[in-house]
Each structure stands twice: as structure tokens, then as C-alpha cells.
Amino acid sequence: MEKLVFVGMPTFNKPDKKRFFTDALDSILAQTYKNIKIFISDNDSLDDTEMVCREYTKKDNRIYYVRQKGNRGEKWNINFVLQEGLKDKSAEYFMWACDDDLWDKTFIEKCVKKLEKDPEAVMVLTSFERFDEKDKNRSQSEFYVPEKATSLKRGLYERMKEHIFISWLDGKGAATYGLWRTKKIVPGSAIEPYWGSDMNFNFRNLAAGPYLGIDDVLYFKRTDYSRPETWSLPKRIYKTLGLRLDKVFSPFFIRIWQYIFEIQGLSFWQKVKLSFFNFLIIFRLFLRRKI
């Protein structure tokens, strides 16, 4: 019997791009792996999102819809669907589903099979494409592979070290959108309200066990490209300097240090070395575009 996969989909005011929303839902419903629960949390949308969601609940009893009383913010909603997934004791696996992304119909099936073969693994990530709807020929699409987006090393210290040095431009944040084994997710983990908290979520949960990768491109992340060559000079200055300062002084690096010293199984000197590597990344941020 197939184990239950809990699919958490936070949303807000999506039917302004209604096709993106319904395409995302249809993409999940079309999965070859059938034992799924799609939990939609509507952050008090002001448009007809509720109507669309309730229509879908009538079409498929695997869809559950909750409308929040007031908009509590994007990060709150992301964490809400995670906590609902963790509370569902029948759910062996969890995945976030952005309300405008797409998945190959075999995404969940292949991810479950990969995790079933490795009981110690926490998460499995597939290769994925980041695409712009306006780019009809997908000529500007960017492709990401698991071994660059996250660490696939087995050793605890080795995988924590590798994660620190991975560039966010290689899909480090989007690695959150893999399939997670719910019982392995570190208690208290959350997508916090600061830049890079998705990357820190991945870092913290690497301490619970290794991540796995699937080379096939099975996930398609919708984006809106804004190319640097179209930016004005003030915007270029802000992007190159201002945003770097924002990153340096965000809680991003401080939280990594905190997580390092919470990890069980590392020696004191391994924690010191990881802390030093984290410090090096701050300097690298000023020397190159990638961190």
C-alpha cells in the first residue's frame, strides 16, 4: 500500500494569474502516485481564490481547503502547511507546492521510491528548471542539478561543510522543494522571516541525515526574469552593493552559527571549523557575485 504524501500549498490572491494556479493544482492531481493529500492554505485572499479552491474540492476528495482569518504573511503560511503536515500522523512524506509551479507526473512516485531505498535519508531533490512564462522558447531557462543545489555527501561533517560553500545561485534555496520524510524533519524547523531562511532550513535538516538526488528534470519552477542589462545605473549599484549589505547584516549567517552548535555528532573542533567557513562566506560575498 502506498504511503501518504502530504502536499502543502500556501496561496494568496492567485487567480489574478488563475491559469498558473489551476495548472499547479492539475499538475499535482495528475501524479502517478495517487495516495496524496493536498492541503491548501489560503491567506485570506481578496479575489476569487476561495471559489476556485472550493470547486476543486468538489472534483477531488484528496484536496483540503482552509481559509485563514486575516493575512498573516507569506512565511507564516508556508510554515502553517508544514506544521499541518507534521501533525498528520498518517503522512509519511511531506512536500511544499508553490501555487504556480509544475511537476512531472512521475515526480512524487520517483521521489518516494528513492527514499524507500534509504531509510536514513531526510529528503530527495530532483533536477529542476527555472523558467519564465514570457520566454516562449525557454531559451533563458536555467537548469539546476541536486549535487550543486545541496550536499549529497553521507558524512555529517562533510555534508554540513559542503552546504556552507554552495552558492545560492545554484538553487540552494529551491532545494526546499524536494520530498521530505516527515519524521526526520528537525523539530522547530521553519522558514523564518529573513533572506536565506530557506537555505538555512536545508542546512539545519542536513544534520538529521543525508539528502538524495534524482538527475531527471521533474520540477519546473516559474519565475519572472529581470535581466541586469535592463537595470538603470542606480538599480545596478543597489543590486551589487546594497543587497550584499542586506545579506551580510540579515540573521542568515548568525542563524547558521547557532545551528552549527546545536548539531549532535560533531566534535567541538569540527564546529569551530564550520563556524570559520561560515565567516569566510561573508567575505566571499563582497568579492564575488556568488555566495
Per-residue model confidence (pLDDT) at position 284? 80
Q: What is the pLDDT of residue 238?
A: 63
The answer to whether residues 199 and 233 belong to one domain is no
62 and 9 Cβ atoms separated by less than 8 Å:
no
CA distance linking residue 222 with residue 277, whole number of Å: 32
238 plus 111 within the same structural domain: no
User: Looking at residue 15, what is its pLDDT?
Assistant: 57
Q: Are residues 49 and 176 in the same domain?
A: yes
pTM: 0.91
Q: Can you give the pLDDT at residue 223?
A: 85
Place of cell 506544521: 83
Q: What's the confidence (pLDDT) of residue 291?
A: 44
Do residue 81 and residue 27 come from a single domain? yes
Based on the fold, state whether residues 256 and 202 are members of the same structural domain.
no
Question: Which helix (DSSP H) or strand (DSSP E) does residue 276 occupy?
Answer: helix 268-287
217 pairs with which residues across the strands? 127
155 shares its domain with 86 = yes
Q: Look up the CATH number of the domain holding residue 138.
A: 3.90.550.10
Which pLDDT does position 250 carry in this prediction?
78
10-residue block means of pLDDT along the chain (291 residues)? 96 77 96 98 92 95 96 95 97 97 98 98 97 82 95 98 93 93 96 93 97 98 67 64 68 95 96 96 71 44
Same domain, yes or no: 242 and 122: no
Claim to verify: residue 251 and residue 222 sit in the same structural domain: no
Last residue of a domain, one of 195, 227, 259: 227
Domain final position from 211, 227, 243: 227
pLDDT score, position 239: 60
* CA–CA gap between residue 102 and residue 222 (Å, rounded): 8
Q: Which domain holds residue 261?
A: 229-287
Point out the domain boundary residue: 227, 244, 262: 227
My answer on whether 202 and 241 are in the same domain is no
At 168 the pLDDT is 85
**Does 177 share its domain with 121?**
yes
- Collapsing DSSP to helix, strand or coil, 53 comes out as helix
The C-alpha angle 188, 129, 240, rounded to 5 degrees, equals 75
DSSP letter at 183 equals G
Residues 6+ apart with CB under 8 A from 254: none
Q: Are residues 238 and 223 in the same domain?
A: no
Name which of 89, 83, 78 is nearest 3 in CA terms.
Answer: 89
Number of domains forming the structure of the chain: 2
C-alpha distance from residue 129 to each of 89, 141, 170, 278 (Å): 32, 7, 11, 28
What lies within 8 Å, CB to CB, of 260 at 6+ separation is: 160, 266, 271, 274, 275, 278
Asked whether residue 200 falls in the same domain as residue 245, the answer is no
